[in-house]
Amino acid sequence: MDCPLKDNLKTFTVSTPALPEGGYPVVIGSGFLGRLRAALKEQFAGRMGFVITDRSLVQAGHLDRFLGGSQMGVYVIDPPGEVSKTMETLTSILEAMESCFLGRDTLVIALGGGTVGDIAGFAAAVFKRGVPVVHIPTTTISQADSSIGGKTGVDSTRSKNAFGVFWHPAAVYMDTETLQTLDEVQYRAGLAESIKHAAIADAGFFAWLEKNADLLLKRDPAVLEHLACQNCRIKASVVMEDPLEKNRRRVLNYGHTIGHALEALSGYSLLHGQAVAIGMIAAGRIEKEMGLVGDDRLERIEALLTKLGLATRAAGTYPPQKILELLKLDKKSVGRRPRFVLLEKLGSVLCRDGQWALEVPEEIVEKVLVRLADTV
Amino acid sequence: MDCPLKDNLKTFTVSTPALPEGGYPVVIGSGFLGRLRAALKEQFAGRMGFVITDRSLVQAGHLDRFLGGSQMGVYVIDPPGEVSKTMETLTSILEAMESCFLGRDTLVIALGGGTVGDIAGFAAAVFKRGVPVVHIPTTTISQADSSIGGKTGVDSTRSKNAFGVFWHPAAVYMDTETLQTLDEVQYRAGLAESIKHAAIADAGFFAWLEKNADLLLKRDPAVLEHLACQNCRIKASVVMEDPLEKNRRRVLNYGHTIGHALEALSGYSLLHGQAVAIGMIAAGRIEKEMGLVGDDRLERIEALLTKLGLATRAAGTYPPQKILELLKLDKKSVGRRPRFVLLEKLGSVLCRDGQWALEVPEEIVEKVLVRLADTV
């Protein structure tokens, strides 16, 4: 499907063999949100749109900008954020769609950040056994990461993204202008996923992030567009190789094994990006303990995180034993033993015997976790 | 995957192009339930089993027979039946799986009828973004229909199977001996799906059902095994051609458009098979109103249903306007206009312009619905 927007926008195509359609476009640009609804109407002619968004998007005026006065079914997640990413919210959204008498000819439109995208993708996947979804990510984290790749899900009472499916979007539209209204803490937290992409896949991109840190913090439009394109390129290339995360795609979980556990333990007061930042430091220390580090990558990651205003220490109470318990629930675990993605060097991931997520002796994990708690 | 049971069992293979594994076996026999757990342990070595069943299966002793004293995570749906087929039950099952610290190396085992299979398949599809499920159908309806084909789902507060996904099982094991303990009303209701299969696909099978009606009611073991094999053959051939119900598979919805609406309107006091029986009669009358019938098929279907103890009239209050409203929510609806599967003759479905579910003028639907209500 072509993007009918007339702007001079950058378009990537994410092709995955799992998709009968062959792939989906990711369109990146600035300031097109107000013209997007008409474009979608053309692109998905005959489908009934249903928007899933959250209160912060409404307050920032983005929902009105998108709707442009037109009538459409809308569900507003409230409160915004991870606390609402539950089976209860999913159920409530699905029932709202039913009460609009929607059918298989629905188009779900996810307007928002990671929570909105994850839950809207899940809702689209299970409504009438599956309807298409278009993602309009509006945060640093969702533009960098969650809107591409087809992962959907909600949290259980114990662990993050415990329930969900793979459901690839029909299209992704990233308007980097929406980042201008994002709250500072969220804005910075989302940059952690860009650092992750650079760390696992592209040392040159890492150097660019180091060089442009100040402009990033100023939300310079040109820098934001370049950032979105780089993230998209890296994420798409990994996803295309392994759409259902059988193996190689696990590299995207760098920093996420311990990150997810911290996030869940904090009751989601720690934002995903904040948790991943600490998780990357923990992974780096595991690499050191295992004698895998012969360069200054941990120091450079730590310095970049700090420069971008991300904490590298767990400022809270996270008993190592509780973290270890949660690690068993991690989706990469095999036989209840957690696995970790580790770097080979800045820009590439360590692969052993064809595996991209590796078992680490429990005493090393515990040692690193104790230090994580010690340094509070 | 081979079935390691040593019995002389009949095995069908359902192959679907959507499955990377190519397909799954459907094993049919009598009296092997007590040996199945050991066979699954061999077939799915390294996976942690989790059984989803319901109270009636526990009371009939089938759960104990399957477990044979071994320890395994178990969730018992209570009360049994359609009233429990909700997002709330699904959530409760998923949380129970989390509390057993299960991971992606789980094997979900669905032991029960249609409700158990539909909800267990859904749970397997969304737990950690998907784990395999084995179906052990124990009712006439689930052995005839729901255990094959990968449809999973739960009901909304308004409509049947509103939410779900396609998730093909890893294997299906039908022990026809489990039908001996089935309650008489449920037993008979489930036979409606066999009549449906015969009506849409095999006039010879229809004649066999007419001839063996008495033996069916006596639950003759040889007749039950032949019944299971015929149903499996017909269902599998349709599903293999169109695994995701893009078109041809809709023939399996014969009698289901109005059937689902009646079922939902009754608050599920009407069993699925009972509703489909009335739905088939309604479809036959629509065919008559549209001038499509030049034979005695409606009379033969009505006579066979009656002989097998199934009502062909809606004994309850089902206002036509309420049914029409619900028809708009049917998954086959396009632009809120319901579509119907209609017979060409006994044993084959009417196809027009490549479509197997056809639009019917609303006045004809209404006329038939009024008569359905009149004849109470």
Element (H or E) spanning A165, and its range? Answer: none
SS3 assignment, position A200: helix
Q: What's the confidence (pLDDT) of residue B318?
A: 84
pLDDT per residue as tens digits for the range A295-313 = 899 999 999 999 999 988 8
Picking from A151, A242, A241, the residue whose alpha carbon sits closest to that of residue B126 is A151
Assign residue A261 the CATH number of its domain: 1.20.1090.10
Is the pLDDT score of A68 beyond 60?
yes
The residues of B whose Cβ lies within 8 A of any Cβ of A are 46, 87-88, 90-91, 94-95, 98-99, 101, 103-105, 122, 125-130, 151, 153, 156-159, 161-166, 245, 328-331, 333-336
Contact A128 B101 (CB under 8 A): no
DSSP H helical segments within B202-334, as ranges? 203-211, 213-217, 221-241, 256-265, 272-289, 297-307, 320-327
Answer yes or no: do B116 and B253 share one domain: no
From the CB of residue B188, how many other CB atoms can be counted at a distance below 10 Å?
22
Assign residue A25 the CATH number of its domain: 3.40.50.1970
Please count the CA atoms within 13 angstroms of the CA of A122 that sit on its side-chain side.
33
Answer yes or no: do B178 and B267 share one domain: no
Q: Supply the ipTM of this predicted assembly.
A: 0.90
Report CA-CA distances (Å) from B232 to A365, B149, B279: 51, 10, 22
Answer yes or no: do A33 and A159 share one domain: yes
Picking from A143, A87, A84, the residue whose alpha carbon sits closest to that of residue A115 is A84
Answer yes or no: do B175 and B266 share one domain: no
Q: How far is B209 from chain A (nearest CA, A)?
A: 33
Q: What's the confidence (pLDDT) of residue A333?
A: 76
Answer yes or no: do B24 and B164 share one domain: yes
Q: What's the confidence (pLDDT) of residue B20?
A: 60
Domain endpoint, select from A153, A182, A211: A182
Q: What's the confidence (pLDDT) of residue B1?
A: 47
Q: For the residues A87-111, what does the mean pLDDT come to?
A: 96
From the CB of residue B41, how many other CB atoms can be counted at a distance below 10 Å?
15
Answer yes or no: do A166 and A26 share one domain: yes
Phi, psi at B375, each rounded to 5°: -85, 5
Instruction: Please give the structure tokens belonging to residue A155.
Output: 């949290």
Residue B131, Cβ density class (10 Å: 0-12 exposed, 13-18 middle, ≥19 buried): buried
Answer yes or no: do A18 and A163 share one domain: yes
Q: What's the confidence (pLDDT) of residue B2?
A: 54
Domain endpoint, select from B126, B150, B182: B182
On whether residue A206 sits in a domain, the answer given is no
Q: What's the confidence (pLDDT) of residue A3?
A: 56
Residues 6+ apart with CB under 8 A from B109: B40, B49, B50, B51, B52, B66, B120, B133, B134, B136
Domain span at residue A33?
Answer: 10-182
On whether residue B140 sits in a domain, the answer given is yes
Q: Which of B177, B225, B245, B287 is catalytic?
A: B245
Q: How far apart are CA B267 and CA A349, in angstroms?
A: 55
On whether residue B174 sits in a domain, the answer given is yes
3-state secondary structure A284-326: HHHHHHCCCCCCCHHHHHHHHHHHCCCCCCCCCCCCHHHHHHH
Q: What's the confidence (pLDDT) of residue A376?
A: 40
Domain endpoint, select from B182, B212, B231: B182
Instruction: Please give the structure tokens belonging to residue A106.
Output: 């629905």
On whether residue A160 sits in a domain, the answer given is yes
pLDDT per residue as tens digits for the range B218-229 = 999 999 999 999
Q: What's the confidence (pLDDT) of residue A212?
A: 98
Domain count, chain B: 2
The residues of A whose Cβ lies within 8 A of any Cβ of B are 46, 87-88, 90-91, 94-95, 98-99, 101, 103-105, 122, 125-130, 151, 153, 156-159, 161-166, 245, 328-331, 333-336
- Residues (pLDDT < 50) of chain B are 1, 376
The pTM for the full model equals 0.92
On whether residue A227 sits in a domain, the answer given is no
Residues B191, B310 contacting (CB under 8 angstroms):
yes
pLDDT band at A374 (very low <50, low <70, confident <90, very high): low
